Structure 1
Amino acid sequence: MSTNGCGVRVDQDAQDSREDLARRLELTQPTDTVRGLFFLGTLEAVRALAGEDAVRHCVEAGSEPRFVEFFNYPVSDFLKVTDAAARVLAPRCGGWTEALRHLGRRATADMLKSATGKALMLLSKGEARWLVGNLPAAYRAAVNHGERTVTWEGPSRGRILMRRDFMPCAFHEGVLLATLEAMKAREVEVRGSRVDMLVSEYVISWS
């Protein structure tokens, strides 16, 4: 972090993200959606750490006054609400990037509590590799856009390529970290990198 002319600490990642968010929003289509479950989880994460006023601020960043778990909402709204949430949580999480990872972890927790997530956990039989291999299906249950592919480089090491996905890398790093940790994997490592505006790659490994 740096400081501005008034001596206030400034999160440079958060500053840079404003232009990034605008570009991502320009690329969305009205038909690109996200389940309400993830809006609700994001707002609950904000409520737990920052209170009701912060929740209202995040809701106002989007265009919906309320969300229903099984309804689908525009990904453009999810981008706005998540960005607002990350900015609110940044001082409490160690910066904007860490706040996004925190929200990604929350998204995984919500997915694993859903009917789809419970089914995946049951079918995985405790095998992290199996669950990672089926992440593309889990993402399809959560959003109706994008493509995710898994390529294995070893028994517990692989790469996940996400195409036409609108969320920043740090968010998906949180998702993947929480997924592997839910399987009791140890020495988990996730390194994300942006290939293009809507294309990102994640190298994952565990023991």
Structure 2
Amino acid sequence: MEGSAAWHLVERCRAATPRDVARGMFFQGVVGVVGFLQGEAAGAQCLEAAGLHALNPGELYPVTRFLKMAARATRLLRPQLGDWDQSLHYIGTQATVDFLASMFGRELMQMSRRDPRRLLQHLADGYQTAVSYGERTVLWTGERSARFVMRRDFMPAPYHEGVLLGALEAVGAQDVRVHGRQLSLLDSEYDVSW
């Protein structure tokens, strides 16, 4: 892997424990995006990179497998999407689509009542239904702006920029802006406004 393409993959994998797991719906989203943009064989390469043959959307899988899959996906998508950050952003947006289509996501949408403020607050708590690790908090900076803080999360900032953008657009927020910063290997924060 080249430079930023690895986004410190080895260090991120070393920081994970066997208890750090994510639902299969995120894996399926990656395979689906890559398969749609690059073909079925490319999607199969992503499964192979994760050491998997099949996926169950509700099952929990080690986050290290997801990291390896996402790394392969960014390499496959980079020629079409332009760079690593764009590829991660695109995968993150698709993760939101997949999450919101799940039972957990539908419940989140119902609780938010299509209100971006409620959505962000519930999203911070809702992560726990999809992954076993990390903590997320929302710090309100205005009526239509917030800082979304993630601690001990394994994906880099561009991925979560896509997640937050997709979630806010799903509830009808207009002119959404998301700017993320990596604070450390596993910590990041996002200025969000709409």
TM-score w.r.t. length of structure 1: 0.90
Partner residue of 1:36 out of 24, 34, 39:
24
Rounded to whole Å, the distance in 2 between the matches of 1:78 and 1:144 is 13
Alignment of 1:128-139 (within 5 A): 128-139=116-127
**Following TM superposition, by how much is the alpha carbon of 1:170 offset from its aligned partner in structure 2, in angstroms?**
0.4
For these two proteins, the number of residue pairs brought into alignment is: 194
- What is the match of residue 95 of structure 2? 107
Query: Which stretches in structure 1 are left out of the alignment for 5+ residues?
Result: 1-12
Query: Which stretches in structure 2 are left out of the alignment for 5+ residues?
Result: none
**Following TM superposition, by how much is the alpha carbon of 1:18 offset from its aligned partner in structure 2, in angstroms?**
2.2
Query: Percent identity between the aligned chains?
Result: 41
Partner residue of 2:141 out of 153, 161, 165:
153
Q: Does the 8 Å contact 1:35/1:69 carry over to 2?
A: yes
Partner residue of 2:12 out of 24, 38, 60:
24
Partner residue of 2:76 out of 65, 81, 88:
88
- What is the match of residue 9 of structure 1? none
Rounded to whole Å, the distance in 2 between the matches of 1:119 and 1:189 is 25
Q: Does the 8 Å contact 2:112/2:122 carry over to 1?
A: no
Alignment of 1:38-187 (within 5 A): 38-187=26-175
Rounded to whole Å, the distance in 1 between the matches of 2:114 and 2:60 is 30
**Following TM superposition, by how much is the alpha carbon of 1:123 offset from its aligned partner in structure 2, in angstroms?**
2.1
**Following TM superposition, by how much is the alpha carbon of 1:202 offset from its aligned partner in structure 2, in angstroms?**
0.5
Rounded to whole Å, the distance in 2 between the matches of 1:36 and 1:14 is 27
Rounded to whole Å, the distance in 2 between the matches of 1:124 and 1:139 is 14
For the residue of structure 2 that corresponds to 1:190, the secondary structure is strand
- What is the match of residue 192 of structure 1? 180
**Following TM superposition, by how much is the alpha carbon of 1:17 offset from its aligned partner in structure 2, in angstroms?**
3.0
**Following TM superposition, by how much is the alpha carbon of 1:15 offset from its aligned partner in structure 2, in angstroms?**
2.8
Q: Does the 8 Å contact 2:19/2:62 carry over to 1?
A: yes
Please list every run of at least 4 consecutive aligned residues from structure 1 whose deviation after the TM superposition is greater than 3 angstroms.
none
Which structure has more RCO (C-alpha within 8 Å, separation ≥ 6)?
Answer: 2
For the residue of structure 2 that corresponds to 1:78, the secondary structure is helix
Query: Residues 51, 130 of structure 1: CA spacing in aligned structure 2 closer, same or farther, 3 A cutoff?
Result: same
